[in-house]
Amino acid sequence: MRILVTNDDGIFAEGLWALVKGLKSIAQVIVIAPIREQSAVGTAVTLSQPLRVQKVPLIVPGVETYSVEGTPSDCVILALEKLVKSQVDLVVSGINHGLNLGDDVLISGTVSAALQGYLRGFPALAISVAAVDSLYLDSAAKLATLLAEKIDSGVLSSNILLNINLPDLPLAKIRGAQVTQLASKSHINTVEEGNDGRRQYYWLVRQKTDRVADNQTDIWAVERGNISITPLHTSLLNRSAPAIPDNLCSHLLQGLRQQ
């Protein structure tokens, strides 16, 4: 199995390398990630400028690594159309430092990178953890590995785009895993004013809403200590796709808790 890995926190992010180390145990991994942090860059694709790519000295032995001066979507397009072409079986984006839930997935670089994989016909996973300085990156990496195996073995259809979010809990305290729907807005933007000594500026800040999430949504699930798995191909794109097997979640949990 060959897996393309990218993220939106940039090539030096801890979550990226935790993910790579996990996936490396079951597949050949290639990393093509943005050189700079790209949070909230959403679906942006760079059309008006050329892109620069650098081969990066190996950070994890055996894992070919490239950095791109561009967005997460640029990375996936460049990989699938040029650098590794179609010799890939799966696209995984993450592990994002911070949740990507509800309508907010629309501005998530992590999800957008996975979306570019899905729109090109590849199964794609976006994976995020709750805490910016998460202690549980390994669980998330393990979960990505289990899902990759299920896609590889055909248990899970390859015509999927899954958005996965883990609560900030040790494995033992995670209550369960759920297939969920996208909630609506989880954050609002407020605007702070400042002055740099020469000119006024405005800074957009995201703040959690106190809105109560509907049952069975991704926000609702994570708030209750569950892993949320949202099939975005139906939730976001309103597109039919093979169903998720009923026992997926219990199998995943079981797999996570093994060993």
Residue 10: left (phi > 0), alpha (psi -120 to 50), or beta?
left
Distance CA 73, CA 170 (A): 31
Enumerate residues 90-109 that contact a copy of itself by CB under 8 A: 98, 103, 106-107
The secondary structure element, H or E, covering residue 34 is strand 28-34
Among 28, 158, 159, 234, binds a copy of itself (CB under 8 A): 234
In the complex, minimum distance from the CB of residue 259 to a copy of itself, in angstroms, rounded to a whole number: 27
Q: Is residue 58 a contact point for a copy of itself (CB under 8 A)? A: no
* 216, 237 Cβ separation under 8 angstroms: no
Q: Is residue 45 a contact point for a copy of itself (CB under 8 A)? A: yes
Q: Residues binding a copy of itself: what is the number (CB under 8 A)?
A: 66
Q: Is residue 240 a contact point for a copy of itself (CB under 8 A)? A: no
* Beta partners for residue 5, in sequence order: 31, 92
Among 41, 63, 183, 219, binds a copy of itself (CB under 8 A): 41
Enumerate residues 159-218 that contact a copy of itself by CB under 8 A: 182, 184-185, 189-191, 193-194, 196-206
* 89, 149 Cβ separation under 8 angstroms: no
Write the interaction track for a copy of itself spanning residues 108-137; mark x where CB under 8 A is met and - where it is not: ----x--x---x------------x-----
Radius of gyration of the CA atoms of the chain, in A: 18
* 32, 79 Cβ separation under 8 angstroms: yes
- Among 106, 117, 99, 208, which Cα is nearest to 164's? 99
Q: What residue ranges bind a copy of itself (CB under 8 A)?
A: 10, 12, 35-37, 39-54, 56-57, 59, 67, 69, 71, 73-74, 77-78, 81-82, 98, 103, 106-107, 112, 115, 119, 132, 182, 184-185, 189-191, 193-194, 196-206, 234-239
